[in-house]
Amino acid sequence: MPRVSGIPCPFCQAPFAPGARRCAACGASLLVAPPSDSQVAVCAIHPEWMSFHACTRCGAFACSECLREGPHGELVCARCHERSPYSPLAWDQRAELGWAKAFWTTCVDVMLRPGATFGRMSPEGSVGSSLFFALLTALAGYFVTTLLYFAVLLVVPYENLASRGLDEPGPGFFRGAVVFFFFLWMVLMPLFSVGITVVASALDHLVLRMAGAPSTFTATLRGHALSQGVYLIGLVPFCGMYVMPFWSAGARVAAYQKLYRVGWGQAAFGALFVPVVTCCLGVGGYAAMMATLMRSP
């Protein structure tokens, strides 16, 4: 079925999401009464409102409130959507596909097709499933770059310390310490990343509720965790690890917009408010500290 990018508002022509009652761009009500002397199609469920599109499954006309987005981006009526609202996500089919394939497919879908991926999946999922996905993405995202950093430390000529007459342990001690801290880091860092995911999801949930989105914590956690599927780019050494937070933020905006069927402004506010405030506080604190140091005698 053909994908639908959005339905134009009859007043400002800005696209609105299926199910919306008001245009997010101009604020006009999308529940429009048809002219009495016209042959305009009306909603099959609400005949007092003008139809915006026919259901691609059953052909029934539907008003803006009764339209839904199907699993492949098609427009369907509320009745057909209730019968089959979602298409299973690869990550939710781990038993059938296998863990590796389900993880890889989900990451690629989130990276390349975030709108379609989050639009067709169920917003609800188990907390354990979301956290485990976040754990795997953290491992994939940081492993290659961390391995290369520690590999550089392994080839440092520690033998030169002895030649300089320094009373230090032998080269084997330093290289053993490098290996130990590598494995320690690869254990602690993913666990720390999962903790950050839980805290960030809770804060995003509060911001989304403030913005009027009908969010639930489990759905926000699911969207936040799955948006980290772009961490697969971390397999590209060095640059991938620094690109993935920004790419993930964009995917998170798409996740909240599709999962809660809200405007892009609300979704962006929910996804970016906490990171932007955190960044501003961090930069401001660093600037204040440097200013204090420069003023000290």
Tokens at 190, concatenated: 């993913």
Backbone angles phi, psi at 157, to 5 degrees: -75, 80
Q: What b/e sequence results for 88-100 when a residue is b if at least 16 CB atoms lie within 10 Å of its CB, and e otherwise?
A: ebbbbebeebeee
pTM of the model: 0.68
The average confidence (pLDDT) of the chain is 86
Element (H, E) at 211: none
Each domain of the chain, given as residue ranges in start order, spans 1-85, 90-295
Beta carbons within 10 angstroms of residue 32's beta carbon: 17
Report the pLDDT averaged over residues 167-183: 81
Q: Is residue 186 classed as helix, strand or coil in its secondary structure?
A: helix
| 1 has a pLDDT exceeding 50 | no
Q: Are 272 and 249 in contact (CB under 8 A)?
A: yes
Report the pLDDT averaged over residues 31-47: 87
Band of pLDDT at residue 4, cut at 50, 70 and 90? very low
Q: Are 124 and 88 in contact (CB under 8 A)?
A: no
pLDDT in tens, 98-120: 989 999 999 999 999 898 888 87
What sign results for the dihedral spanned by CA atoms 14, 20, 26, 28?
positive
Q: Is residue 170 classed as helix, strand or coil in its secondary structure?
A: coil
**Neighbouring C-alpha atoms within 13 Å toward the C-beta of 49:** 19
CA distances from 284 to 136, 204, 237, 275, 287 (A): 33, 22, 30, 14, 5
Q: What is the pLDDT of residue 71?
A: 67
- Which has more confidence, 92 or 88? 92
Alpha helices in the chain (DSSP H): 78-83, 94-97, 99-112, 114-120, 127-154, 159-163, 171-210, 217-226, 239-260, 264-295
Tokens at 186, concatenated: 């690869």
pLDDT in tens, 53-86: 988 877 889 999 999 887 666 788 888 877 766 6
Distance between CA atoms of residues 61 and 82, nearest Å: 16
Band of pLDDT at residue 157, cut at 50, 70 and 90? confident
Backbone angles phi, psi at 167, to 5 degrees: -85, 80
Band of pLDDT at residue 240, cut at 50, 70 and 90? confident
Q: Are 73 and 119 in contact (CB under 8 A)?
A: yes
- Which has more confidence, 167 or 126? 126
